[in-house]
Structure 1
Amino acid sequence: MSQKLREQIETITTLTDKEFEYILSHFTYRKFLKNQYVVQEGDYVKYDYFVINGLLKSWHIDGKGGTHILMFATENWWISDSEAFHNQTQATLNIDCFEDSETLFISLENREKLCADMQKMQYFFRKKTTAGYVASQKRILSLISFNARQRYEYFTQLYPDLLQRVPKNLIASYLGITRETLSRLTSSQP
């Protein structure tokens, strides 16, 4: 279980067994059940979650009651309400489990301590944060620049495994299109 975290970190920096043991001591393991909330809007966000197994989603309900999927997080991904986590404020997002899920989570205090104690972890978290910002920028640009078909094709290129795990209404919400539009796009594919 913790091996996945080590593999994730070692895609960026190498670790000794002793270093990883120290890193792991800053994390806590937790299982969540399908449909269980990890974070609810209005909660104070104390943790950043690394997904070992399962599938989580972050979402927001707008003022008109519309649900908007911001992110799916599957194995080896990180998920939190980043603004609330880093600022230690109340969540503006909801995060729940679409499948039974296993996570390792870390508090901001422990993350900061790891970064202060180990340059390798400071480097790791900086690289992961940068990659997250780049992915968010690409997503925003796709939402404002691509038509519905292009957004769907981009999604299928980036996340082909999610097509089998996530219902179409949630994919449509993520893409910013209606379920009917998504059905037309998928039925017109060769």
Structure 2
Amino acid sequence: MNETAEFHIFYKHITNFSPITEKEFENILPYFSKITLKKGDSLIKQGEKVNYTYWVVKGLLISNFTDNEGKEHIIQFANEGCWITDQQAFYNQTTAIFEINSLEQTELISISFDDREKLCSAIPKMEHFFRKKANDSFIKQQKRLLTYMANDATERFNLLLKEYPDLIQRVSKRKLASYLGVTRETLSRLKK
């Protein structure tokens, strides 16, 4: 995918939430940077300061947390069109509690905390965009939390299929099981 196509897709993403013109989009581009990760690369490491938030152009990332007993808890998969960062660390400008790694070769568009603040001051439509995206993210997180607490494994699996239809082909059974809070054996039964 060439840079023009990538930024056209990004422009369409923004206009889904905030009506900006092509001229305004040209003015916001200098605030963003492109990043490419190889499969297995680390984007954010636990304990490091988080200065950036990222939008996935192409590829797949995973956000996870390992507890004191060594158990992995998967917080988020981020595929094409998703934003990802350690939100608490990014918004509070503190250190990460999550790890974020690429599961595939991944192309990202990033913006720093400072540039995001400057952009929102310079172009109010972008402040509107980021507010709408934050609201969208909060709703998705609440929905996932309620699904995890109130639904059985089958319902969680069906929601995963609805939200990420191609994820089963892109992610290991171990990671899918961890995301769903089930064993690999239970996941195998669900996939039948």
Match of 1:46 in 2: 51
1:141 to 141, 146, 150: 146
Question: Which moves more between the two structures, 135-144 or 150-159?
Answer: 150-159
Measured in 1, the distance between the counterparts of 2:64 and 2:130 equals 23
Match of 1:117 in 2: 122
Q: Tell me if 1:171 matches 2:176.
A: yes
Match of 2:17 in 1: 12
Q: Tell me if 1:24 matches 2:29.
A: yes
Q: Deviations over 1:70-125 (max 9, x none)?
A: 10101111000000001111100000000000111001111111111111101110
Measured in 1, the distance between the counterparts of 2:126 and 2:98 equals 27
Measured in 1, the distance between the counterparts of 2:63 and 2:171 equals 13
State, as a whole percentage, how many aligned pairs show the same letter: 42
Match of 1:60 in 2: 65
Q: Deviations over 1:28-78 (max 9, x none)?
A: 111010000000001100100011110001001011100111101011110
Q: Tell me if 1:103 matches 2:108.
A: yes
One-letter code aligned to 1:14? P
Aligned length: 187
1:151 to 146, 156, 164: 156
Query: What is the CA distance between 1:167 and its match in structure 2?
Result: 1.7
Q: 3-state DSSP class of the match of 2:31? A: coil
Measured in 2, the distance between the counterparts of 1:96 and 1:56 equals 6
Match of 1:89 in 2: 94
Measured in 2, the distance between the counterparts of 1:86 and 1:13 equals 21
Match of 2:3 in 1: none
One-letter code aligned to 2:72? T
One-letter code aligned to 2:14? I
Measured in 2, the distance between the counterparts of 1:104 and 1:149 equals 35
Measured in 2, the distance between the counterparts of 1:136 and 1:7 equals 24
Query: What is the CA distance between 1:179 and its match in structure 2?
Result: 1.0
Measured in 1, the distance between the counterparts of 2:65 and 2:10 equals 28
Match of 1:72 in 2: 77
